[in-house]
Structure 1
């Protein structure tokens, strides 16, 4: 192997090992992340975790007397949606910080991003 090729291979190996370590850490942080949101008048507060799983719901005690069950359910749904959106935004930003601004995690999940092109672009940035 030519010396410059050996050096390049060594560099790529170091980058790959660092990326693997950082990706594992990102995965751990992503699966443990939570986000919370309140209804506009704070009758309901919810917390969601990985995948939008509802992990906590709190109610203003007076809300039971003032709101119908349907209104309470709507407020829970709205707050859960807001919390999930906030969490997804944080997760996507963390992935862009690791893999580059072109990395669209949720676009990939929705089938809006060509995975081959994304991998090619991400690899070009990481191994430049």
Structure 2
């Protein structure tokens, strides 16, 4: 025999499964993200993944031969920073990932927002379901008798 509680729980489970599938798809898309930047005069080109890890460094021209070590170092660092910013923008385009209104993925990734401060401690659910979970089905006594 099913009860209204069973239906509400099934609805919540269906919602959870949908949100989980969306999160898995978002993660897959994020894993495909890269960011690339090229320094002025084509001295260096950097590519990073969604986590900001450098995956490629290229020297498209021989211009780096004419640079001092300090200039080359600065060009590398600046280009890598820009590539990371580009990757972060691409991650943000994947979507909000179910974040609360006004919270940007870029703010979470860059540490400007604490996830625990914006996400509820408890999952959203009707009070009747919360009571059901806390105390069991109201038509069944704890000893199993009806």
- TM-score tier, shorter chain, comes to 0.7 to 0.9
* Count of aligned pairs: 122
TM-aligned CA distance change 1:107 to 1:10, over 3 Å: same
TM-aligned CA distance change 1:31 to 1:79, over 3 Å: same
Match of 2:91 in 1: 91
Aligned-partner SS, 1:120: coil
Normalised to the residue count of structure 2, the TM-score between the two structures is 0.66
Match of 2:58 in 1: 58
Post-superposition Cα deviations, 1:75-121, rounded to whole Å, max 9, x if no partner, equal 1111110111121232244351x314444445446273361x42229
Match of 1:37 in 2: 37
More helix as a share of residues: 1
In structure 1, what is the Cα distance between the partners aligned to 2:14 and 2:75?
A: 49
Normalised to the residue count of structure 1, the TM-score between the two structures is 0.74
TM-aligned CA distance change 1:104 to 1:34, over 3 Å: same
Match of 1:68 in 2: 68
Larger Rg: 2
CA RMSD, 1 decimal: 2.9
In structure 1, what is the Cα distance between the partners aligned to 2:36 and 2:115?
A: 32
In structure 2, what is the Cα distance between the partners aligned to 1:31 and 1:113?
A: 22
Unaligned runs of 5+ in 2: 127-146
Match of 1:46 in 2: 46
Unaligned runs of 5+ in 1: none
